[in-house]
Structure 1
Amino acid sequence: MGKLDGRVVLITGAARGQGEQEARLFVAEGAKVLLGDVLDGPGEALAKELGEDRAAYVHLDVTSEDDWAAAGVAVTERFGKVDGLVNNAGVLRFNALLATPLDEFLAVVSVNQTGCFLGIRAIAPKIAEAGGGTIVNTASCTGVTGMAGVGAYAASKHAVLGLTRVAALELAARNIRVNAVCPGAIDTAMSNPEGVDPAATAELYRRSVPLGRAGRPEEVAALVLFLTAGDSAYITGQPFVIDGGWLAGVSPS
């Protein structure tokens, strides 16, 4: 018996990183998954690897209302229903706030914040039609604190937490629980766009993270599984920080 037997979940940003690990874990736990991404090659390959009876891929630009509508049709046509959504897709840009161009700020907000809103608006009614289910939004530890150099990202992730709370209140009557995960430094391509050797950042993590390392995407996936499965049946509207203790307080050096 898997924790997600009989469930159908749509995961965005599923071609790599946290989304890929969520898809792998969910299938292992009995779910059928629709993988949404703009990285068509990796997304299609992952769906094929997971098996046609368990996974399918759809091109999904989360900033596009038309793509969301098509994804909603695709998941119900392929698997008969959808009762879970993981809004995982996101982008990160490093820049000082006063040096951030407006188009860069809006691009980050469009994916991280607007994409999450569009996903909830498009898929929540279908989850309700299936009798209820879950939505998990990917925020960030920068959604509960500030961090220099990522102003657009932090602003968008603060907004995701507000959206999560409102959605939890409004959708509870439809038997839909809505929560958010707030990862810290996770070893993915998004957090390391320059491809820096992990050994070069190891000392930084040893000094700043109590657990002494960056997180692994499969660890985030395990938290998303908890919030999607019945183990969290009495939890909604909450942010869950997963950061190795980074935000716990000041540590002796």
Structure 2
Amino acid sequence: MTLSIIIPTLNEERYLGTLLNCLSRQTRQDFEVIIVDGTSQDTTVKVAQRYKNRLHLAIVVTRRGVAHQRNEGVRKARFSQLLFFDADCTIANDFIEKTLAYVKGKYTLAGAVVQFDNNDWQHRLINEGYSQMCTFGRFTGGFLNGACIYTTKNVFAAIGGFDTSILVGEDHEFGIRARPHCRRGLLPLPVMTSARRFEQVGPVRQVIQYLMMGLYIMVRGSIRKPHFTYRFGTHN
């Protein structure tokens, strides 16, 4: 095996099975999967346990916090290459094969173009804007979406992992700190993720919130205090 896949979860019983199904159908299977659950109040852990016979799967339960959970996953990881997914992602059957071929000998940090799984006109516009941000982020090193991040243990160790004091945007900050230590790329296949937050909050309101958080980060730095209402594990 060559790859450790780390998935932080919190109340993801409706979505996790879809991602694990995608992983079980991959054309290349030389990877382990580490579910790092933040004490879910639903059946997330039971959903994960159903895949123990289909995947090289480990389940870790720890305190909640996406940065902490990712760091815990790396501590348990056995292999030098790391791939982080959010639990509500969907990927093509050859995603792992093409990812490993793309990064081999070239890149030590890579994000993916992330698209939302709603095809109405508002979400199509959001997807186009997000696609441009993901592509541009490859060159600036500043935009990295936690839905899908590839890196190596060497890069991870060089910067001390994800900053657990950051409430929102720890993926963005990880990418900035990693710049001097990595060769950066953009994975060849997109990742589909749930539009649930946009659907529940409203597309316009959610985009405005993201813009406000982005502006705050640009002016004030990382978000370490609850200036914004941005909950995890509650959008089902």
TM-score bracket relative to the smaller structure = 0.3 to 0.5
Structure with greater proportional helix content: 1
Larger radius of gyration: 1
